[in-house]
Copies of this chain bind each other. A is one copy, B any other.
Amino acid sequence: MPVDKVANFEDCNCFTVRAAARHISQFYDQFLASSGLRTTQFSILTQLKFRGPLTINALAEVLIMDRTTLGRNILPLERDGLVKIEPSAADRRAKEVRLTKAGEKRFEEARKAWSVAQARFEGAYGTRRASDLRAMLRAVIASELEGADHRA
């Protein structure tokens, strides 16, 4: 008895994830504001801090971000002297992005603010639940989503 097998628009997975992303981003951004960084920028600095210098492509991959999006997102960081972008010695097509001293300093400041936001969020949402949520979201990211134009 599939009374209503038609997909309900309230149940759009894409909309729900995007809405939640807007909501949680505004929250974290409030805390990061004092450091002068946005959440996206903080994510970039974090990866560079813990993974060391990376090329644009490699950095984009770990950030689950389009290459061209990242290419533009690093420009304000470079302008403010938080990262340095230099051509790779091994492959002159590639560019290496690395954290500067100023970038490390800024990261440490933002890190404190981030910790407060993270703790505050989990206080409201639940630490265990947040952990479960992240696991489910990582599964989304890992899921093989074939394109609309797939053949075979």
Contact = CB atoms under 8 A, between A and B. Distances in A.
A75 interface: no
A20 B124 CA distance: 21
Contacts of A136: 129, 132-133, 136
B137 A20 contact: yes
A16 interface: yes
Interface in A3-58: 7, 9, 11-28, 30-31, 33-34, 39-40, 43, 46, 50
Contact of A12 (B65, B66, B118): B118
A27 to B, nearest CB: 4
A144 interface: yes
Please give the count of copies of this chain that the complex contains.
2
A91 interface: no
A141 interface: yes
A63 B13 CA distance: 14
Given A24-B140, A133-B137, 10 more contacts: A12-B114, A13-B130, A13-B133, A14-B28, A16-B138, A18-B39, A18-B40, A117-B148, A120-B145, A132-B136
29 contacts: A7-B115, A9-B50, A11-B134, A12-B114, A13-B122, A14-B25, A15-B39, A16-B134, A17-B20, A17-B24, A17-B25, A17-B133, A18-B24, A18-B43, A19-B64, A19-B65, A20-B21, A22-B64, A22-B65, A23-B140, A27-B147, A30-B149, A31-B148, A33-B148, A124-B143, A124-B144, A125-B140, A133-B133, A133-B136
